[in-house]
Amino acid sequence: MDTDSISVFAERKGQILVAGSGQETISCDKQSLSGAVSQRACVFCGARVVLYPIADALHLVHGPIGCAAYTWDIRGALSSGPELHRMSFSTDMREREVIFGAEKKLEQSLRELIEKYQPKGAFVYSTCVAGVIGDDIEAVCKRVEKDVGIPVIAVQSEGFKGNKRAGYSAACKAIDRLVGTGDTTGIGPLSINILGDFNLAGEIWLIRQYYEKMGLQVVANITGDGRIDDIRKSHGAKLNVVQCSGATMELAKYMKEKHDVPFLRVSYFGIEDMAESLYAVARHFQDVDWQVMERARKIVADELLTLVPEMKALKKRLQGKTAAIYVGGAFKAFSLIKAFRHLGMKVTLVGSQTGTEEDYREIQQVCDPGTVIVDDANPLELGAFLRDNDVDILVGGVKERPIAYKLGLGFCDHNHERKLALEGFLGMRNFAKEVAATVESPIWRLVPRRIGRTTAGTAHSTEVVGKES
């Protein structure tokens, strides 16, 4: 794809590359360019979305009400029990506190909320204003913790102090405060923690089922459907299985250093990556129980028996269509590129908000020559790339959806708020069906730039969509 026709700020040129063009490195993992209107969220939001699914914790946002409203219930992270995480508490800082300090209000709010809701732990998020006026959140948390007998943890997530990745780091530091404080009695030699899954649409339940069928004990979900007490004893598990490169990798590294828990990086999206996740974990425990691998193979074989024929049928319909991917963490993009390949589709644009140099190197290796790779894009750039390339579907999150729809493109939500499980073998089936239904929708033929471009492919699709509905 040619990017010369697209107008990009001079300072951002290094953050875009075309695979196979000879340019090897991409500039990334840095502050967004002022005025470029990045798609990224702030540090506070990064921390909030990682900790949010811990369902029996109190989450108190220390700042003006906007920060809490902006992140209220934005993840479709389900809980099998308590749902305290879905409440968005805020100290609602006003002008008076901004001038005279808000520590008193914070302490009062914390004590009142803990007494009322009896949580197992509390997270107090620092926002921009709390950072600027210099409230000592750490001191307040320590004081309250001493009296109430539950962990009360300050999350140093002032919005201005970096990008969303710094928020992940703040969240990992907060969780690290809990790890190692619980009793590990009863944790066996075949035990794991699941890191980096947020239980969107119940996905962690699906993944837990696979591991449990393999004979493994899941000690803690970190953080989807998470519980404070499970996290406190998670250092007793024998392996951390970490999904996604960004959100919880730092925690896995802390746990390796402090508690000698090794970790594996996996992805639950797509057929190969899901299967390889199970095999990798099985290989880790092979010396303890050789049958773990047998059980993993059986799970994969049983699932593929029905999934492969369905995928073949969908591939016939989607062959030759094109897709663009713009996601938060780059790790998800690897699996998505492979998933689209299974559907016979070509990925022409891949981007992420928080990818690292290593992530982008790996993306270059898995994508086709000519694919545009972009770091920390903005709506205008994305819109220009998509329009120039006339892709059939964009995969992204809540902020990318309007870009796609304004351009008259299909869109697949692969982020926080979705209601459809996309992980695991079931997730691949759901993803493929959603892509087919979206790409083949007859509505796209009415988009002005596509009027008159009906093809045999679209005529066939219309029929199928009609049948399904």
Kindly list the residues in this chain that would bind ligand SF4 in the complex (CB under 6 A): 42, 44-45, 63, 67, 70, 127-128, 159
Least distance in angstroms from the C-beta of 231 to ligand SF4: 24
Closest CA to 312 of 429, 445, 420: 429
When the beta carbons of 35 and 452 are compared against ligand SF4, the nearer one is 35
- In the complex, the smallest distance separating the C-beta of residue 397 from ligand SF4, rounded to whole angstroms, is 17
Distance CA 145, CA 107 (A): 11
CA distance 103 to 110: 10
Nearer to ligand SF4, 45 or 251 (CB): 45
Q: Which residues contact 423 (CB under 8 A, 6 or more apart)?
A: 197, 203, 206, 207, 268, 269, 274
Q: Phi and psi for 185 in degrees, rounded to 5?
A: -55, 135
What's the closest the beta carbon of residue 88 comes to ligand SF4, in angstroms? 12
Minimum CB separation from ligand SF4 for residue 126, in Å?
A: 8
List of residues 6+ apart from 213 with CB closer than 8 A? 295, 299
Select 69 or 308, whichever has its Cβ closest to ligand SF4. Answer: 69
Q: Which is nearer to ligand SF4, 63 or 427 (CB)?
A: 63
| DSSP for 44-88, written as a single string | HHHHHHHHTTBTTEEEEEES-HHHHHHTTT-S-B--SS--GGGS-
Which of residues 72 and 279 has its CB atom nearest to ligand SF4 in the complex?
Answer: 72
Cα separation, 448 vs 469, in Å, equals: 25
User: Which residue(s) pair with 351 in the sheet?
Assistant: 326, 374
Nearest-CB residue for ligand SF4: 159
Instruction: In whole angstroms, give the CA distance from residue 331 to residue 42.
Output: 20
CB of 163 to ligand SF4, least distance (A): 11
In a 10 Å sphere around its CB, with 0-12 CB exposed, 13-18 middle and 19+ buried, how is residue 426 labelled?
middle
Residue 365, judged by CB atoms within 10 A of its CB (0-12, 13-18, 19+), counts as exposed
Structure tokens that stand for 365 in this block: 């290796």
Nearer to ligand SF4, 40 or 338 (CB): 40
Smallest distance, ligand SF4 to C-beta of residue 63, A: 6
Q: Shortest Cβ distance from residue 169 to ligand SF4 (Å)?
A: 15
Provide the edge-to-edge strand list for the sheet that holds 263-266.
217-222, 191-195, 239-243, 263-266
CB of 21 to ligand SF4, least distance (A): 35
Is 68 or 382 the residue whose CB approaches ligand SF4 more closely? 68
Shorter beta-carbon distance to ligand SF4: residue 70 or 205:
70
Return the number of the residue (70 or 279) whose C-beta is nearest ligand SF4.
70
Nearer to ligand SF4, 63 or 410 (CB): 63
Pairing of strands 410-413, 152-155: unpaired
Task: Closer to ligand SF4 by CB, 66 or 101: give it.
Answer: 66
Query: DSSP characters for 175-186?
Result: HHHHTTSS--TT
Smallest gap from residue 251 Cβ to ligand SF4 (A): 22
* Residues present in the chain in total: 469
Q: How far is the CB of 159 from ligand SF4 (least distance, A)?
A: 3
- Beta-strand pair 263-266/322-327: unpaired
Closest contact distance (angstroms) between CB of 37 and ligand SF4 is 14
Show the tokens assigned to 170: 């703040």
Residue pair 162/43 in contact by the 8 Å Cβ criterion: yes
